[in-house]
């Protein structure tokens, strides 16, 4: 990544880490680039550069590199509000021009396009399981869905009920590392770290990421860390199942947005139905399409469940 300003470079590196992109070198200008850096197999699949402070000169330099390295995806950041040095077209083969300030959704779409080109695209379907009242069976449904998916595909189940979660114990596992341990290493979350943290349920081959052992460790789990984690898991697995909570806190809102399916688990009683309705309203207001929302009615038809009310 090339940017004349060290503050911008650091900010960009953290921003990219949120999308699972690891920056291997931050340089001040093109001239600082070591000649052999292009030969490292994993290096330089991506290239990030701002054109400041001399947009036209720098664009020429980048254009020369684009011609020399056709297999590298070049991202060029262009300050907004100024005449675009390339008029929005792509005469040079630069893969993406990104307007500053960055529009997060366009930017992540650009990253996904590039990841696909390099065979590193998100492939997982993300299923976000949400209970509407305590004990309605969302963890049971999440565990069963994840375990059945794992029999035919690569699936991981993540416990996002961070204090009370019971995913690992449902499978009789006591993992050494948990979701909280994957939050620290901001820019270094890689496949090997994940392999150490994921416990495998031998019968189903389901991978499991447990909630923290100590309740106070839940505070280490944060929004950017979770987005990063979901991005990396999304590239490793076919299915990512999140056993979650009914919440719209930033942590859970990011899960709602990244999910391909938000599955709401309810039982046929008034509190559960009311909460399901309230939550679906919130999802709609957050802009989630109906096609991404499903309702599971658990324990349907069981006699005596949820029909009595203590107020009667
Ligand atoms: N379809 C079902 N048939 C029989 N028992 C069930 C069914 N679904 C859930 N249970 C039982 O109900 C209890 C609560 O289920 P579970 O822990 O999955 O609910 P939850 O919604 O995740 O609850 P929590 O609010 O604690 O997260 C468990 O003992 C589980 O075994
Ligand atoms: Mg649960």
Ligand 1 atom closest to the CA of 143, numbered from 1: 18
CATH of domain 125-297: 3.40.50.300
Are 6-117 and 125-297 in the same CATH fold? yes
Cα–Cα dist 129/295, whole Å: 10
Domain residue spans of the chain: 6-117, 125-297
Q: What is the pLDDT of residues 24-73, one digit of tens each?
A: 788 888 788 777 666 544 434 566 666 666 777 777 777 787 777 777 77
Q: What is the pLDDT of residues 210-233, one digit of tens each?
A: 999 999 999 999 887 888 888 888
Q: Kindly state if the Cβ of 267 falls inside 6 Å of ligand 1.
A: no
* Residue 96 CB neighbours (<10 A): 19
In this structure, the residue with its CA closest to atom 8 of ligand 1 is: 137
Q: Kindly state if the Cβ of 135 falls inside 6 Å of ligand 1.
A: yes
Find the 145 Cα to ligand 2 centroid distance in Å.
14
In this structure, the residue with its CA closest to atom 1 of ligand 1 is: 299
Cβ density class 200-213: b for 16+ within 10 Å, e for less: bbeebebbbbbbbe
Distance of CA 56 to the CA centre of its chain: 35
pLDDT over 70 at 9, yes or no: yes
- Tell me which of 131, 137, 165 to substitute to probe ligand 1's pocket, judged by most ligand atoms within 8 Å of the beta carbon: 137
The CATH T-level fold of domain 6-117 is Rossmann fold (3.40.50)
213 neighbors 202 (Cβ within 8 angstroms) = no
Cα–Cα dist 26/30, whole Å: 10
Any idea which of 14-23, 123-132, 198-207, 256-265 has the lowest mean pLDDT? Answer: 14-23
Cα–Cα dist 238/48, whole Å: 29
Mean pLDDT of the chain: 83
Comparing 191 with 181, the larger pLDDT belongs to 181
- Residue matched to tokens 């949400």: 130
Q: What is the pLDDT of residues 73-118, one digit of tens each?
A: 777 877 765 444 444 445 556 667 777 777 777 777 777 777 777 7
């Amino acid at each position: 990544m090339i940017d004349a300003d060290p503050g911008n470079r650091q900010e960009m590196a953290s921003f990219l880490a949120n999308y699972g992109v690891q920056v291997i070198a931050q340089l001040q200008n093109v001239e600082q680039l070591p000649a052999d850096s292009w030969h490292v197999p994993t290096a330089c699949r991506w290239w990030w550069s701002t054109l400041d402070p001399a947009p036209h000169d720098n664009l020429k330099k980048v254009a020369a590199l684009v011609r020399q390295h056709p297999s590298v995806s070049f991202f060029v950041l262009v300050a907004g509000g100024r005449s675009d040095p390339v008029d929005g077209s792509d005469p040079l083969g630069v893969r993406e021009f990104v307007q500053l300030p960055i529009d997060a959704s366009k930017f992540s779409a650009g990253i996904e396009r590039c990841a696909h080109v390099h065979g590193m695209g998100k492939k997982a379907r993300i299923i976000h399981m949400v209970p509407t009242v305590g004990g309605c069976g969302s963890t049971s449904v999440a565990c069963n869905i994840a375990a059945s998916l794992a029999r035919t595909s690569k699936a991981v189940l993540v416990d996002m009920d961070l204090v009370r979660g019971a995913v690992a114990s449902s499978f009789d596992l006591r993992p050494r590392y948990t979701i909280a341990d994957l939050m620290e290493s901001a820019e270094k979350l890689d496949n090997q770290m994940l392999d150490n943290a994921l416990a495998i349920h031998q019968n189903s081959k389901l991978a499991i990421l447990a909630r923290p052992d100590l309740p106070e460790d839940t505070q280490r789990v944060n929004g950017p860390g979770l987005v990063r984690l979901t991005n990396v898991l999304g590239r490793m697995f076919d299915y990512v199942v999140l056993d979650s909570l009914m919440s719209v806190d930033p942590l859970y809102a990011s899960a709602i947005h990244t999910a391909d399916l938000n599955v709401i688990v309810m039982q046929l009683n008034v509190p559960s139905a009311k909460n399901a309705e309230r939550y679906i309203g919130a999802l709609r207001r957050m802009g989630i399409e109906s096609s991404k929302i499903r309702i599971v009615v658990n324990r349907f038809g069981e006699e005596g469940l949820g029909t009595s009310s203590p107020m009667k």
